[in-house]
Structure 1
Amino acid sequence: MTQTTAQLKSRAQDEASRFPALLARAEQLAGTVLLGEHGRRRAGLGDDFWQYRPMRAGDSLRWVDWRRSAKGDDQFIREREWQVAQSVQLWVDPGASMRFSSQKDLPTKADRAQLIALAAAVLLIRGGERVGLTGWDLPPRRGEAQVLRLAEMLSREDTTDYAEPEARGMLPHARSLFISDFMSDIAPIEAALTKAADRGVRGVLVQVLDPSEEAFPFQGRTIFESVGKSLAHETLKAGELRDRYLQRLAERKDRLETLCRLTGWQFYSHHTDHSAQSALLWLYRALDGGHG
């Protein structure tokens, strides 16, 4: 009994120590991306001056800055920055399949997914946006305290091999980010994006894969077993499965891209042997470009 208690205590300490470490890495990663004012460096309703631009057809005379225009022959419009905060909701796959890594020097898919999601949240929140999770547990909010809550909740794991996207509680016309390997049944993924699109939600799907899942480097006798150990398959000729596997993977990616195109979302595939910075930079630009 003493040993069991000690083991439980050790496990609890390990779990408790995960999210501060994740947060530190996410903040460091976010610092590598030029923050600026996410989603705000655009003309719109607000109080802060952004830029002057020449008057165009259709502009009202009420918008003309006469003091600036008096300096020359042209009339100039005084534009202000967009000040409407956007709600962004995250779903990061907590399933056991995400805890796979083919090599000791590579992060698990879960680690990479949590890292880029939290780094994106840091950038968004510090840019004035509200960020939370899909579902009901953590609604979008601003502030550094929200970053801490996100770090804690993103560190949680599920016992099932494959988790279904959480599409409840999605706010109308919000933005959303789903990160997963998307290797599970396609139907719940389609249902989630369709539901999001019906509510006017636009967003990004980021597929995180281990390089071995892309290359399928297996030969001879191989036992394929899911991380949660609910599925297993043994073959003596793994190499003969390669072409069929790669075809199905290509079909899955094509289906995800088509689904995103139909629902107004964007799709990106990231490998854990590539830099997290490249994924975050793409994600940051994708979310910024889809604002409003």
Structure 2
Amino acid sequence: MARIGEAAGPVVPRDALARARQRASLVPDLLVEARRVVNTVIAGWHGRRRRGIGENFWQFRPYVEGESMASIDWRRSARDDHIYVRDKEWEAAHTVWLWADPSPSMLFKSQGATVSKESRALVLILALAELLSRGGERIAWPGLTDPFAARNGAERLAARLLHAADLPARPDLLPLRRFSDIILAGDFLDPVEETQQWLDPLAQRGVRAHLIEIADPAEETFPYSGRTEFRDPETGQKLTAGRAESLTEDYRLLYDARRAELAAWCRKLGWSYTVNHTDRLASDALVRVHTALSAEVGQGAR
């Protein structure tokens, strides 16, 4: 479907270096905003670590008859009259990959929005990096970083974004392996079949995806009337409508059908699909994605 272009949006720089500089100028403030958003949801955020096979200490618990004697911690047991087992922490054998759409269409910001789609996507991804890193998760951005675990994960990711000369519209997803999760934040305005073709190999490899559709309110309501010129920020093609209001009904039908089809496809694969509007809180999406990430942990993608 066609994107809304310059009817209410900014001028889109086509030069890759200009785009990189523009993104770099946003990143420091977006990192601050991401941490602010994190602080609004951190009280309800629970890490995904649990008891199981691993190397790190988890807890002491009373010995249960029938368990292996090798699991007993004799030093701890010697402190009183009880026998204790030293539990190890369960280690998830996967990485959470993070990605925000760098396409020119993400620069769109209507008068009814508080931020551009690009800003919202980056805030969400950096906030997720912060939350996941605090929880001890391994994170990565395909084509930008290798998987790593660090308490300052959001800061490290932001630093890489600051110095990224160019980001491909669609990154190489081949490095993603079974039991990994990937969170993709974008507008997903490409034809549904193109998005499915791009992401279907992930499902075949057992990767679980979580799509966050970043939507500007004008993209849903199409509040245009009279003579209006629309420009596709991806191709530069222009469309002039003499009576833009005459397109409203057909446009909304196409827009809603695209979202419904893509969301249904994700549900069929066991993936999650979240819509976040740029005139609403970013924290709403974080809560929903956290719930999706926590579902069926350790069982891989469905």
TM-score scaled by length of structure 2: 0.76
Residues 85 and 128, structure 1, Cα contact 8 Å, conserved in 2: no
Distance in 2 (CA, whole Å) between partners of 1:61 and 1:231 is 72
- Do structure 1's residue 49 and structure 2's residue 59 form an aligned pair? yes
Classify 1:227/1:237 alpha carbon distance in 2 versus 1 (closer, same or farther; 3 Å): same
Q: 1:269 aligns with which of 275, 284, 298?
A: 275
Residues 197 and 264, structure 1, Cα contact 8 Å, conserved in 2: no
The superposition leaves residues 196-246 of structure 1 with CA deviations (integer Å, 9 ceiling, x where unpaired) of 111110020010010011111111211111335612111111111111111
Residues 101 and 109, structure 1, Cα contact 8 Å, conserved in 2: yes
> 1:181, CA displacement in angstroms?
0.4
> 1:282, CA displacement in angstroms?
1.5
> 1:255, CA displacement in angstroms?
1.4
- Do structure 1's residue 222 and structure 2's residue 211 form an aligned pair? no
Q: Which runs of 5+ in 1 are unaligned?
A: 1-9, 68-76
Q: 1:38 aligns with which of 47, 52, 55?
A: 47
Count of residues in Structure 1 that have an aligned counterpart in Structure 2? 265
Q: Which runs of 5+ in 2 are unaligned?
A: 1-17, 78-84
Classify 1:249/1:184 alpha carbon distance in 2 versus 1 (closer, same or farther; 3 Å): same
Superposed, 1:107-122 pairs within 5 Å as: 107-122=115-130
Superposed, 1:173-252 pairs within 5 Å as: 173-228=179-234, 230-252=236-258
Which letter maps to 2:32? A
The superposition leaves residues 237-282 of structure 1 with CA deviations (integer Å, 9 ceiling, x where unpaired) of 1111111111111111111112212322111111100101111122
Classify 1:158/1:246 alpha carbon distance in 2 versus 1 (closer, same or farther; 3 Å): farther
- Do structure 1's residue 281 and structure 2's residue 291 form an aligned pair? no
Classify 1:180/1:37 alpha carbon distance in 2 versus 1 (closer, same or farther; 3 Å): same
Classify 1:51/1:205 alpha carbon distance in 2 versus 1 (closer, same or farther; 3 Å): farther
SS at 1:48's partner residue?
A: strand
Cα RMSD of the aligned pairs, angstroms, is: 3.3
- Do structure 1's residue 141 and structure 2's residue 152 form an aligned pair? no
SS at 1:167's partner residue?
A: coil
Which letter maps to 1:253? R
SS at 2:40's partner residue?
A: coil
Percent identical pairs in the alignment equals 33
> 2:138 is matched with which residue?
130
Distance in 2 (CA, whole Å) between partners of 1:157 and 1:218 is 36
Distance in 2 (CA, whole Å) between partners of 1:128 and 1:159 is 27
Residues 215 and 277, structure 2, Cα contact 8 Å, conserved in 1: yes
The superposition leaves residues 54-107 of structure 1 with CA deviations (integer Å, 9 ceiling, x where unpaired) of x9xxxx9428x999xxxxxxxxx9976533363011221000000000028610
Which letter maps to 2:229? I
Distance in 2 (CA, whole Å) between partners of 1:90 and 1:178 is 6
Higher relative contact order, structure no. (Cα contacts within 8 Å, ≥ 6 residues apart): 2
> 1:152, CA displacement in angstroms?
3.6
Classify 1:87/1:43 alpha carbon distance in 2 versus 1 (closer, same or farther; 3 Å): same
SS at 2:90's partner residue?
A: coil
Distance in 2 (CA, whole Å) between partners of 1:30 and 1:105 is 21
Residues 106 and 117, structure 2, Cα contact 8 Å, conserved in 1: yes
